[in-house]
Structure 1
């Protein structure tokens, strides 16, 4: 009795938690196999109520199949069909005596409508609770004692049950869970059976059954697990801009015309500007320190214009060229005034 009360209390306490469950959604089937422990059953004779006693039973096998539907909010509705068998062990009777050995079996079968609650606890296993009502038939299959009594027949009764169990999902098979379950079921009505060969009837009291089951539950039409998101593409760094390329064109003293070697260098610069992504070509003219600064400014401009004209002749768009004249400033080789340094008489072509 204490076990039944504890189970009932567990079901009641589990109700507030059921809203947080993550149960089966949609239809499912279940199967459980195990053993049934039947409590002793009291009886008395219909024609002689003073004769009474109890039947004592041994545990035997049990099976339960179910068809259910998960509502997706922690609630499952389940219709179960059960088949329990027990063997009779002995009879205690107030007239023929106690511990009378018997043989024969009792079969209990029927259907139950149950309401179940799955409760997530953050562990690999998920507990559940439930209960319901239904109708059961109980058949006495010739319970025979050594005094010639032979009790037999089939009678039905309203029944209720309480359920507690745990499930363990199998990740490799979506929708499949292994289950371990305890069920308590009580047949509430008194039932009548025949005692042959005398033809007397006996009234049998309520029948209580404790069932332990190991089984499986399979959710039908389980959607496949979501695919893992594709990895984000590895960002590709923008290519670094190509370094500026510089070409040096040298001039004779006090000259702005191109030498053959200078013409060759300008042609190379023009060709290279077509192969690389060039947006601007800087053409900057310089002089040495001989001559006056004003004269040198004009000479450096004439040198830069000569090189720019040759670049255009070699296929470079005039719009890409920027001309600068720096006179005797920015010396490549530092010197004093009035020095004719060949390295300073130059034009720099810079591809950008």
Structure 2
């Protein structure tokens, strides 16, 4: 062997990538996500599809047992579309090669670039689909093939469902079909062994953390102020002759802080002898326009009911719903924005 051995250098490169990927998996990450960066981790089961292994003129099917997959990714969400870099390790024990029992294994690390789309539903649940391309490094230990490595072009399809537990944390469950072009492994006893396309069905449960989620709004006491500025406020900010009541994502619940603001609005209306009160509901753009129209009306009705509990007759209140058509903060479609989830109480 000369000083320069391209085959040996290729194998050294593959071992280096495998070692690096294994070290990064615990730190990597692989969530409808808020706009911005995210990371995630996934783990589950892997079913490797039976393929042929050709050694010289002999072809035998490689049958594997149910295996496992663990992986992670880091990505960026644009409020619907998102892209990510993924590293996933798959491992399956070999049951038989042809008619011969075998206790070896076939493993791989897939380094993929994925493009996905989170489909907004107006709820905490959302389906997503995607596809990826990349490089897959396979490792086979079977008979005369001793932990040899081979790289191949990889491709995958992705379909899953996610659930946002909080603004930042979500869980996912997805199915992935991963395939590659053929692989070549070294068999010292009979020359190179050709392995057909490496194909896998993978189901994984994941945990995703989004850095782009807006902070939880905090309650603010009512006080006269200039026109309201976008702030991370949970319940309310008062402006001259008007009061703002903010809501949590996909919620119509009146918080204790918000109830205090409605009470203040009712007292002000009584003391000023206000003849007309307008209550207008709004929603952010994370759901469909039709859904958001209904959601904004439900929020307005919730505030109306609270006003009635504070002695304001319904006959003196006009209730409106504007859905997502009049945002306080302009955002792209599908993006959550706490400042847009509000009801405006206007005293006339």
Please indicate the TM-score interval, normalised by the length of the shorter structure: 0.5 to 0.7
Q: Does 1:158 align with 2:117?
A: no
Alpha-carbon displacement from aligned partner over 1:219-252 (angstroms, at most 9, x marks no partner): 0142213312252422264599xxxxxxxxxxxx
Q: Does 1:27 align with 2:43?
A: no
1:1-352 to structure 2, matched below 5 A, reads: 23-45=33-55, 48-49=56-57, 51-72=58-79, 74-92=80-98, 99-141=99-141, 143-144=142-143, 149-150=144-145, 152-171=147-166, 174-188=167-181, 190-196=182-188, 198-226=189-217, 227-230=234-237, 231-232=261-262, 233=264, 234-235=267-268, 237=270
Q: Give distance in 2, aligned partners of 1:129 and 1:210.
A: 15
Q: Determine the structure 1 residue equivalent to 2:337.
A: none
Aligned length: 201
Structure 1 unpaired stretches of 5+: 1-21, 93-98, 241-352
TM-score (norm 1): 0.54
- Conserved in 1, the CA contact under 8 Å of 2:38 and 2:210? yes
- Conserved in 1, the CA contact under 8 Å of 2:35 and 2:77? yes
* Structure with larger Rg: 1
C-alpha deviation, 1:36, in angstroms: 1.0
Q: Give distance in 1, aligned partners of 2:100 and 2:131.
A: 36
- Conserved in 2, the CA contact under 8 Å of 1:29 and 1:217? yes
Alpha-carbon displacement from aligned partner over 1:261-292 (angstroms, at most 9, x marks no partner): xxxxxxxxxxxxxxxxxxxxxxxxxxxxxxxx
TM-score (norm 2): 0.54
- Conserved in 2, the CA contact under 8 Å of 1:152 and 1:194? no
Change (3 A) 1:176 1:52: same
Farther off after superposition, 174-183 or 199-208: 199-208
Change (3 A) 1:239 1:100: closer
Structure 1 stretches of 4+ with a deviation exceeding 3 A read: 149-152, 236-240
Change (3 A) 1:55 1:236: closer
Q: Give distance in 1, aligned partners of 2:201 and 2:170.
A: 23
Q: Give distance in 2, aligned partners of 1:88 and 1:161.
A: 23
Q: Give distance in 2, aligned partners of 1:128 and 1:87.
A: 31
